Amino acid sequence: MALWVPVAMISDPTWLSLLILGGLAGLLALDDTALAQTWFGQPLPAAVLTGYLCGDPLTGLAVGLPLQLVLAGNLPIGQTFTGDSTSATIAGVAGTILAGNHLPQVMVGNPAGTWQLLGWVILGAGLLSLLGHFLIQAERRFNGIWMLEGLRSLRDGRLGRIERLHIRCLLTTFLRGFASGILFVMIMLRVWIPLFAHLSPTLQTALGTLPLLLPGLGVGTMIDRYGLKTSWPWVAAGMVCTFLVVHYVA
């Protein structure tokens, strides 16, 4: 497997590291809706980027892949929920690496029971994403208030106000991503990952199974999105061919 691993920019949980991670979270928060929408803010690319930044892209892949699959159905049409999966993913990956852990990719290996920790990190990222939903909604309410302020320009014709209001909204999005990125990394690093050692063995075993169940749920969500009647022949064709090739040929 060809893999380019850069020198880690972030290897210790210092304030500088947190600022860099916050900057990444801010930029990807902008990308999510406000600026260009390149999809680098999707869980898997965001996790890989964070992994590269922290010097361990494989841990980024391990966390990002199950998250990406289970969040694949979160499409921005006809929905009222908007979780902050970007900041949560960054926190999951960065928190894991900065706490001195390396996670293997699901299905590839399970050295010393690290799937349990992976399941715990994914659960934490999911809950942080839910928390981020409220921050995004608050930001949008502020946008609404500032937009109404712009009505004054319709009376006095001052265009500078419109410019300032829009830039203020963009800055708010960046700052929201920046702040929630730092906050989530701190929660993951100082609270969530240390808590793992105190979990009961039963819960730890269940957490080891969690990453294995998420891809199935993600695939099921996509089949539901496409419509079962329409999609089943295409999905079945892709599934059967790939399964046979991988299981019996490769």
Partner 1 sequence: MKPMTRKLQWTLFLRSLTLQGSWNHQRMQNLGLLWTVLPWLRKNRGDVNRDRIFCRRYYGFFNTNPYLANFLFGGLIRLEEDQDAGLELVPGMIGTFRDSVGRALASLGDQLFWLGLRPTLIMVICLAGLLGHVSAVLVVIGLFTAGQLLLRWMALRKGYDLGMDIADLLIDPRWHSWIGRMKRAGMVLTGMVAGLYLAQVAELGNSADRNLLWIGTVLGMGLPVVLRKRLPGELLIVAALFMALVLTFAI
User: How far apart are CB 83 and partner 1 at their closest, in Å?
Assistant: 5
User: How far apart are CB 112 and partner 1 at their closest, in Å?
Assistant: 12
User: How far apart are CB 77 and partner 1 at their closest, in Å?
Assistant: 5
Stretch that binds partner 1, among 18-26, 93-101, 175-183, 232-240 (CB under 8 A): 232-240
Residues counted in the chain: 250
Stretch that binds partner 1, among 20-28, 73-81, 90-98, 186-194 (CB under 8 A): 73-81
Stretch that binds partner 1, among 19-27, 89-97, 107-115, 184-192 (CB under 8 A): 107-115
Map the footprint of partner 1 across residues 145-164, applying CB under 8 A: 146-148, 150-151, 153-157, 159, 162-163
CB 60 within 8 A of CB 93: yes
Give yes or no for residue 177 binding partner 1 (CB under 8 A).
no
For 213, phi then psi, to 5°, come to -85, -25
Stretch that binds partner 1, among 7-15, 19-27, 102-110, 176-184 (CB under 8 A): 102-110
* Dist. CA 148–CA 68, nearest whole Å: 36
Q: How many binding residues for partner 1 (CB under 8 A)?
A: 114
Give yes or no for residue 8 binding partner 1 (CB under 8 A).
no
For partner 1, the binding residue among 6, 15, 77, 112 (CB under 8 A) is: 77
Give yes or no for residue 119 binding partner 1 (CB under 8 A).
yes
Give yes or no for residue 87 binding partner 1 (CB under 8 A).
no
Give yes or no for residue 222 binding partner 1 (CB under 8 A).
yes
Map the footprint of partner 1 across residues 11-70, applying CB under 8 A: 30, 33-40, 42, 44-45, 48-49, 51, 57-58, 60-61, 64-65, 67-70
